[in-house]
Amino acid sequence: MERLVGKARLRLVQGDITDQDVDAIVNAANPSLMGGGGVDGAIHRRGGPKILEECRKIRSEEWPDGLPTGKAVITSGGNLKARYVIHTVGPIWRGGKVGEPKLLAEAYRNSLELALRSGLKRVSFPSISTGAYGYPIEEAARIALRTVKEFLEERDLIEEVNFVLFTEADFKVYLQAMAEIFEHK
């Protein structure tokens, strides 16, 4: 499924984000930036040790206490097809009343800002926070798609944003959210 937002393509695909041949893939990291399970583990496994080395440097030089929720940093893509990895930290779901929606939107927005500042045009996201961090995916999908759509409406240098959903069930949830946002607003 693909929609145009201004001149940019916003696309949903089912698959493994580590296969993406784009300027940058986004990692749903944790504050340590030292890898983990889920998509984070997959990216470090396929990307190789260079990514972790760069994450260590970012930790020691910029974020000694860890990357705060909602912020984003960039490393090279190591052995991945993607040239860069943007690491962001989504919120842990705690019931929705301690700012989770705002923090999730910030993770998407700050990732796109960083891509833009780095001159990157094609970016792929996973479904941030909806795995180990427990964010209900229907709600997360709406926030993800709305935030990216608004960003693309305001800025026209990013040409393509893909959401890469790992499972068919997740893909269907995003399809439904996309239909709601684009067809009924």
Catalytic residue from among 40, 65, 156, 170 = 40
Structure tokens belonging to residue 5 = 């937002």
Q: 120 φ, ψ to 5°? A: -90, 145
- Of residues 143 through 172, those in contact with ligand ADP by CB under 6 A are 164, 166-167, 170
Nearest approach, Cβ of residue 141 and ligand ADP (Å) = 10
Where does this chain touch ligand ADP (CB under 6 A) — which range of 13-21, 80-88, 95-103, 151-159?
A: 13-21
- How far is C-alpha 95 from the chain's CA centre? 21
Question: Residue 63: what residue type?
Answer: W
For residues 89 and 100, the answer to whether their CB atoms sit within 8 Å is: no
Question: Which of 10, 128, 144, 173: binder of ligand ADP (CB under 6 A)?
Answer: 128
* Catalytic residue flag (residue 65): no
Rounded to an integer, what distance in angstroms lies between the CA atom of residue 60 and that of residue 47?
Answer: 21
Exposed, middle or buried by CB within 10 Å (0-12, 13-18, 19+), for 58?
A: middle
82 binds ligand ADP (CB under 6 A): no
Site for ligand ADP in 97-126 (CB under 6 A): 126
Considering the complex, state which of residue 10 and residue 28 has its C-beta at the smaller distance from ligand ADP.
28
Interacting residues with ligand ADP (CB under 6 A): 16-18, 28, 38-40, 42, 90, 126-133, 164, 166-167, 170
